[in-house]
């Protein structure tokens, strides 16, 4: 069977645009004499649709669009993801995450998703009911085993611990499926593509069945979908790997012999840089922003964000602002100017000192009797935030925040200051990983000035300040944070590994007490298994963390 995979990029709620993409892909495949055309999970409405699913008017419009798509089909099959709704009983939502198989002008078969995830960034239990039945469908002389995303992630032969008591793929296999097709919208995190490859290779080699795994691509606010759709033969060999981080179209012939593909994922810096560029570009494109704005400090974080913005927007559409205070070193200004020249972007230099001095003068009576502390430092950051927001409002710039994951985790980002902005571009990248990305960017020529990479990190809010004045070295800090945030290790486990109980207690306390800041922060582009945002739901008011 010749199966065309349309690895396309939808927009949530854009039914007309998504419908056009489906039909354009279908018509292309018909011209290529394909037997079946496949698009990813919930493609018609976009994934994840969240509370749009609860709107009756939206569900009705999705149903109508699906019927219109089906009416344009001929004998060539078309399989795509959509919301469906039934009225079988008064229990549950009666709404399903479904795969629709259309041909000869009608929706001929519907397979609902069986395993409804409810962990990390997934909240599908809130909206969808699980399938009551799993069945194969015979099409053009072949029995198709159709499943949706999570349905294929519960193979007892691969996983040591299963999330669900049901294995939909085993049921399809037992019922005589000859070709497996899984439509997916699986959010990317570094390392996940290798995991997919290993799992799917094991499954197909065990079951001796070919598999089409059609992945979504693009970014939807925080979530990045990397594409890289995979087609396997019955021996578990990867035959076709779709493009990464961009749309793709290809035809998989189950009767053809392909050269086996082994390399599916690059190194951390390569993959994450590409993912962040896609995330930033799609956020801007799908929300209507044409230009980006970054506050440039002379440090490595803002330099990396400026580079990513150039790749996402084009250098002519990126503007940066240097906002020195009396504590800003000449080196920081010179380093920023060198970066600006390397990137070919426009810039302004606006001193904050006069505004800071005047504000402190006006507050002097209210501050009487109080020693100088972090308040005065934060005021500088907040003046910068005010400048940036004003420029964003006036010119329509997308303001990108520049805080990394280490800073956001420990509260080293000022609320209403450097946290101002619409999108936290590197908010899921630890400080040590930022340096890896800088080296990757500079692999062919120096783009990020070496002076920026080599200088000691500093907020430059007081004389001779460095981050390590009050934080442990970043390699040690990031090790603690990764164990706590991503590996879900307990305090005692981390303390034993690090060998310094008081330090671990201090770092974990910083993470927990700064939850209130993160609740007010810009969305964070997700590139790890546990990013800040709605994938990590931690209470602001709680007493457990302070019992250590």
| DSSP-assigned states of every residue in 383-418 | HHHHHHHHHHHHHT-EEEE---HHHHHHT-S-TTTT
pLDDT digits (tens, 9 = 90+) for 374-431: 999 999 999 999 999 999 999 999 999 999 999 999 999 999 999 999 999 999 999 9
263 is a domain residue: no
Cβ atoms 400, 292 nearer than 8 A: yes
pLDDT score for 467:
63
Same domain, 84 and 144: yes
For β-strands 248-253 and 179-184, DSSP reports them as: unpaired
198 — alpha (psi -120 to 50), left (phi > 0) or beta? alpha
pLDDT band at 471 (very low <50, low <70, confident <90, very high): confident
Same domain, 277 and 407: yes
- Active-site pick, 6, 45, 102, 149: 149
Helix, strand, coil distribution of the chain in percent, nearest 5: 40, 20, 40
For residues 413, 418, 423, 426, the Cα torsion angle rounded to the nearest 10 degrees is -50
Query: What is the domain-level CATH number for residue 25?
Result: 3.60.110.10
503 is a domain residue: no
Contacts of residue 408, defined as CB under 8 A and 6 or more positions apart, other chains included, come to: 424, 427, 517, 518, 521, 524, 532
User: Does the pLDDT of residue 458 top 70, yes or no?
Assistant: no
pLDDT score for 546:
59
Strands (E), 355-511: 398-401, 423-424
44 is a domain residue: yes
Quote the Cα angle for 38-42-46, to 5°: 115
Q: What is the CA radius of gyration of the chain?
A: 26
- Active-site pick, 113, 244, 405, 530: 113
Please give the tally of structural domains in the chain. 2
Q: What is the mean pLDDT of residues 467-488?
A: 89
Single residue among 225, 256, 287 that ends a domain in this structure: 256
Query: What is the domain-level CATH number for residue 428?
Result: 3.40.50.620
Single residue among 214, 231, 256 that ends a domain in this structure: 256
Same domain, 247 and 318: no
Q: What is the mean pLDDT of residues 107-130?
A: 95
User: Does the pLDDT of residue 137 top 90, yes or no?
Assistant: yes
User: Does the pLDDT of residue 545 top 80, yes or no?
Assistant: no
Single residue among 205, 225, 256 that ends a domain in this structure: 256
pLDDT digits (tens, 9 = 90+) for 492-507: 999 999 999 999 999 9
537 is a domain residue: no
Catalytic-residue membership of 149: yes
Same domain, 378 and 412: yes
- Active-site pick, 41, 265, 271, 407: 41
User: Does the pLDDT of residue 462 top 90, yes or no?
Assistant: no
Structure-model confidence comparison of residues 53 and 544, the more confident one? 53
pLDDT score for 459:
62
Cβ atoms 37, 214 nearer than 8 A: no
508 is a domain residue: no
pLDDT score for 293:
98
Catalytic-residue membership of 519: no
pLDDT score for 82:
98
Same domain, 292 and 342: yes
For residues 403, 404, 407, 412, the Cα torsion angle rounded to the nearest 10 degrees is -10
Same domain, 276 and 252: no
320 is a domain residue: yes
482 is a domain residue: no
Q: What is the mean pLDDT of residues 255-284?
A: 97
498 is a domain residue: no
Same domain, 18 and 85: yes
Same domain, 219 and 365: no
Same domain, 236 and 356: no
To the nearest whole number, what is the mean pLDDT of the chain? 95
Same domain, 219 and 136: yes
pLDDT score for 417:
93
pLDDT digits (tens, 9 = 90+) for 74-83: 999 999 999 9
User: Does the pLDDT of residue 460 top 70, yes or no?
Assistant: no
User: Does the pLDDT of residue 338 top 80, yes or no?
Assistant: yes
Catalytic-residue membership of 113: yes
Handedness of CA 285, 286, 291, 295 (dihedral sign): negative
What domain range is 71 assigned to?
2-256
Q: What is the mean pLDDT of residues 209-232?
A: 98
pLDDT score for 160:
86
Same domain, 210 and 320: no
Same domain, 248 and 288: no
User: Does the pLDDT of residue 547 top 60, yes or no?
Assistant: no
């Amino acid at each position: 069977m010749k199966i065309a995979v349309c690895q396309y990029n939808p927009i949530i709620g854009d039914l007309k645009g998504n419908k056009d993409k489906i039909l354009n892909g279908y018509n292309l495949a018909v011209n290529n004499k394909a037997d079946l055309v496949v698009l990813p999970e919930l493609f018609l409405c976009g994934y994840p649709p969240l509370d749009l699913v609860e709107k009756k008017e939206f569900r009705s419009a999705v149903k109508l669009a699906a019927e219109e798509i089906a009416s344009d089909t001929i004998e060539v099959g078309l399989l795509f993801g959509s919301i469906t709704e039934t009225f079988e009983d008064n229990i549950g939502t009666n709404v399903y995450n479904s795969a629709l198989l259309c041909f000869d002008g009608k929706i001929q078969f519907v397979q609902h998703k069986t395993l409804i995830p409810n962990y990390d960034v997934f909240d599908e239990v809130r909206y969808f009911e699980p399938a009551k039945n799993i069945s194969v469908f015979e099409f053009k002389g072949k029995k198709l085993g159709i499943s949706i995303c999570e349905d294929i992630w519960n193979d007892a032969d691969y996983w040591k611990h299963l999330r669900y008591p049901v294995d939909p793929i085993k049921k399809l296999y037992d019922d005589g499926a000859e070709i497996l097709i899984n439509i997916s919208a699986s959010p990317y995190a570094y390392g996940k593509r290798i995991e997919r490859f290993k799992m799917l290779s094991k499954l197909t080699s065990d079951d001796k069945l070919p598999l089409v795994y059609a992945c979504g691509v693009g970014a939807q606010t925080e979530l990045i979908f990397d594409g890289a759709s995979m087609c396997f033969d019955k021996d578990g060999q990867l035959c076709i790997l779709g493009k990464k981080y961009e749309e793709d179209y290809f035809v998989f012939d189950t009767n053809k012999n392909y050269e086996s593909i082994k390399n599916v994922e690059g190194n951390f810096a390569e993959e994450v840089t590409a993912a962040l560029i896609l995330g930033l570009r799609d956020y801007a494109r799908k929300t209507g922003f044409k230009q980006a704005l970054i506050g440039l400090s002379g440090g490595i974080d803002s330099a990396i964000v400026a580079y990513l913005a150039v790749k996402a927007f084009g250098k002519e559409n990126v503007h940066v602002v240097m906002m020195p205070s009396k504590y800003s070193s000449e080196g920081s200004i010179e380093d920023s100017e060198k970066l600006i020249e390397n990137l070919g972007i426009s810039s302004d230099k606006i001193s904050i000192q006069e505004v800071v001095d005047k504000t402190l003068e006006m507050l002097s009576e209210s501050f009487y009797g109080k020693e100088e502390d972090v308040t005065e430092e934060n005021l500088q950051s907040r003046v910068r935030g005010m400048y940036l927001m004003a420029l964003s409002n006036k010119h329509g710039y997308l303001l990108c925040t520049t805080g990394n994951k280490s800073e956001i985790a420990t509260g080293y980002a000022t609320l209403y200051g450097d946290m101002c902005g619409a999108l936290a571009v590197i908010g899921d990248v630890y400080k040590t990983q930022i340096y890896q990305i800088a080296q990757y960017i500079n692999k062919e020529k120096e783009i990020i000035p070496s002076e920026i990479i080599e200088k000691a990190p500093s907020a430059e809010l007081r004389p001779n300040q460095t981050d390590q004045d009050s934080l442990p070295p970043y390699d040690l800090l990031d090790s603690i944070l990764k164990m706590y945030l991503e590996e879900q290790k307990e305090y005692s486990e981390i303390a034993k590994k690090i060998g310094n109980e008081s330090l671990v207690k201090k770092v974990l306390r910083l993470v927990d007490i700064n939850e209130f800041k993160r609740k007010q922060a810009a969305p964070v582009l997700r590139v790890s298994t546990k990013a800040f945002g709605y994938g990590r739901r931690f209470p602001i008011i709680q007493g457990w963390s302070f019992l250590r």
